[in-house]
A = this chain, B = another copy of it.
Amino acid sequence: MNLKELSQILGLSQTTVSRALNGYPEVGEATRRRVQEAAAAHHYRPSTRAKGLATGRAMAIGHVIPVSTRHEIVNPVFADFIAGAGETYAAKGYDMILSVVDDDREARTYRDIAAKRNVDGILVHGPELNDPRIALLTELGLPFVVHGRASGVALPYSWLDVNNTRAFRRATDFLLDLGHRRIALVNGLEEMDFAARRRRGYEAALLARGVAPDPALMRSSEMTENYGHEAAAEMLRLPDPPTAFLTASMISALGVRRAIEDAGLKMGRDVSIVTHDDDLGYLRNGDGADPIFTATRSSVREAGRLAAAMLLELVADPDRTPRSRLMEATLVVGQSTGPAPQQAQAALSQRR
């Protein structure tokens, strides 16, 4: 069923039918109702391509997900972010187009997307410190919003980020309040902007208390359980081992926990863990925190919703000045928090 057929059935012109369906005011109320009913009855839906061609708008947003051929893993937080963004798009009648791309050839992909004109805007994932995509997309004139930020880029652009610096500063403070002084950081890859920010928050908290950051207690790699396990195991073998671990994800935290257990230590008595939970609900305990962890938590799904909404506004008015939004993570205190749990709770309620 297309517009032509529908208008013939109704004995109206395509124009009138189109106007009735798109809410133009000059159409009579009776006519509009009649048209709407017929459209519903015949399951009429306008062809996206034809509409796009006529309006010049694609009614679609592109997400480029970088994938490396080396490890067959896709960052699982993408899934939640995309689910959130998808909700927004669905509500506004937009499609979401995913391009899976080898992380090396990304530039070409963005050029192609711009030239093919099948999206009205792009959501940029996983920015690095000096991410070249921001300059590229600016040059191409394609509206975009970055999930995260690129600290090294001077251009103005729109972004939405979690306040990673603050989250990790707060988590470190929490451990310091408990009396910990040897706090290890099991961080993500530091080419990633978010990881660099996390480290800055961690270091700032230490320095503010006069504790010198110890390179032997800082690791950076891709977040796997195994990485968490190895990193923690090695650090626990140091002459002056850490009494607490700050990890950048629940997954690595699980590895850290395993290392602690392997070493014959007791979680929460001998050693503490604070982790950052990017909404990996599978690892959460219902609505509360996992009882064995204390975690800073941000809602990736909500971030997806909001970032998509920002992008749609930008698409509607491409000349608007770039906007940004910083989401705060919450600190959720679990059961076994280390030397002095009571003290921890007090410190926490203060900080809220």
Contact = CB atoms under 8 A, between A and B. Distances in A.
Nearest to A67: B83
A170 interface: no
Contact of A254 (B100, B117, B254): B254
A199 B71 CA distance: 31
Interface size class of A (residues with CB under 8 A): 35 or more
What is the total number of copies of this protein in its complex? 2
Given A48-B117, A285-B226, A75 B71 contact: no
Interface in A290-348: 290, 292, 299, 301
Interface in A68-101: 71-76, 78-80, 82-83, 85-87, 89-90, 95-101
B71 A281 contact: yes
Contacts of A254: 254, 283
Given A1-B115, A52-B49, A251-B283, A98 B86 contact: yes
Interface in A22-71: 43-50, 52-53, 58, 60, 65, 67, 71
Contacts of A282: 73, 76, 223-225, 251
30 contacts: A43-B115, A44-B115, A45-B112, A48-B117, A49-B58, A49-B118, A50-B53, A53-B53, A65-B83, A72-B281, A73-B80, A73-B279, A74-B79, A74-B80, A76-B79, A76-B280, A82-B100, A86-B98, A87-B100, A89-B100, A95-B118, A96-B100, A97-B98, A98-B98, A224-B281, A224-B283, A225-B290, A226-B285, A251-B282, A254-B254
